[in-house]
Amino acid sequence: MSRRISVVVLLAGAVVVALAFVGIVWAAGSGTPDLGGPVVVSATPSEKPSPRTPSPDKLDAVSTKRADPVKPPPPQRGGDDDDDDGDNGDDGDD
């Protein structure tokens, strides 16, 4: 009897999954998306933009001074030295 119940539950689950899939496909395919109105692009700009590039007189001088070297950080204790396993150096080959 338990085998029939598991088959019925399996079939019911398959029906639910199929209905969910059909619902998702139907919702995704219903109509065309609304992307807004048309976009008009003209070939010529409506107004002349002001020049944003500074004149060569106002450019900053490029610094050629070298930076100070950076000292490395001090060494820290840590890491695995593989000697803390409690066997007092015995590697088991004796």
Helix, coil or strand: residue 11: helix
- Which sequence spans correspond to the domains of the chain? 1-28
Q: What is the mean pLDDT of the chain?
A: 76
Question: Which pTM was predicted?
Answer: 0.32
Tens of pLDDT, residues 36-80: 888 888 787 666 666 666 565 555 666 677 888 889 888 887 766
For residue 83, what are the contacts with CB-CB under 8 A and spacing of at least 6?
A: 89
What phi and psi, each to the nearest 5 degrees, are found at residue 19?
-65, -40
Q: What is the pLDDT of residue 15?
A: 97
Q: For residue 92, is pLDDT > 70?
A: no
Query: What percent of the chain is modeled with pLDDT above 70?
Result: 60
Greater confidence (12 vs 86) lies with 12
